[in-house]
Amino acid sequence: MLKYIIIDDEPLAHEIIEEFCSMLPHLQLEKNCYSAMEATQYLNENTVDFIFLDINMPKLKGLDFLKTLSNPPKTIVTTAYKEHALEGFELNVVDYILKPFSFDRLVKAVNKVSETQMSKTVSKEITSETSQRFFIKGDKKHHQIDLKDLLYIEAHGNYTKLFLKGEMIISHEKISHYQSILNEDNFLRIHKSFIVAIDKIKFIEGNRIFINESRIPIGQTYKSNVNKLYNT
């Protein structure tokens, strides 16, 4: 069952999305939100698998709202404005559908959510069980990575740098890709630009994590994640 909420200031939009989603038995509506602020309050206290998000809302626009979330759910943008599509995909939205949309178009978008959820589950099982190796594409080669050698990952625009024992490899994947496939028990997102291997941490001092000779910043919104390492 995939849980979702609708964020849109137009009641008619809620009715249409609800009607279409009611035909899909694997979906469950959790909340109707009529502003970004209402959605923020709900998501601070609850988790969902994905959201339907309108762009043109009063006070706080949809994409600006998405930027405020440190770990946003999968997002399907529903809007009458096609000119924001590029910005939406830069924020890793799953799909961007234009109003008015058909039932078939909504189903296509929801299927993308289902595929990413399944991929995430399978990837985490692979990482936690088989465990210790995977390939990444970089520098026109496919590099085999041993997770035991991975120290930390740094976002670098649309790329990432993987720092290993004795070398650094540039990957063509975004940091969000690695967050989705790496086991949360072994790797921790500590900043919008950094994921670290928990067992490679030498010590934590102030707002920095030290791994070998590297000083890695802790982002304010991720500080609670780090605190859980020693406040258990």
Are 107 and 152 within one domain? Answer: no
Residue 76 belongs to a domain with what CATH number?
A: 3.40.50.2300
- Banded model confidence at residue 89, pLDDT cuts 50, 70, 90: confident
- What total number of domains does the chain contain? 2
**pTM for this predicted structure:** 0.51
Mean pLDDT computed over every residue of the chain: 86
- pLDDT for position 231: 66
- pLDDT for position 127: 44
- pLDDT for position 125: 43
Whether 176 shows a pLDDT value over 60: the answer reads: yes
Are 118 and 74 within one domain? Answer: yes
Distance CA 160, CA 141 (A): 15
Last residue of a domain, one of 127, 142, 159: 127
Give 177-204 pLDDT, tens digit per residue. Answer: 888 888 888 999 999 999 999 999 999 9
DSSP letters, the chain, are -EEEEEE-S-HHHHHHHHHHHTT-TTEEEEEEESSHHHHHHHHHH---SEEEE-S--SSS-HHHHHHH-SSPPEEEEEES-GGGHHHHHHTT-SEEEESS--HHHHHHHHHHHHHHHHHHHHHHHHHHHT-SEEEEEETTEEEEEEGGGEEEEEEETTEEEEEETTEEEEESS-HHHHHHHS-TTTEEEEETTEEEEGGG--EEETTEEEETTEEEEPPGGGHHHHHHHH--
Are 151 and 212 within one domain? Answer: yes
Contact 216, 209 (CB under 8 A): yes
Joined together, the tokens standing for residue 68 give: 């405020």
Give 17-71 pLDDT, tens digit per residue. Answer: 999 999 988 899 999 999 999 999 999 999 999 999 999 888 888 889 989 988 8
Q: What mean pLDDT do residues 142-164 have?
A: 89
Give 110-137 pLDDT, tens digit per residue. Answer: 988 887 665 454 444 444 444 477 777 7
Are 107 and 11 within one domain? Answer: yes
Ranked by mean pLDDT, the top range of 13-17, 121-125, 219-223 is: 13-17
Structural domain that includes position 64: 2-127
- pLDDT for position 117: 61
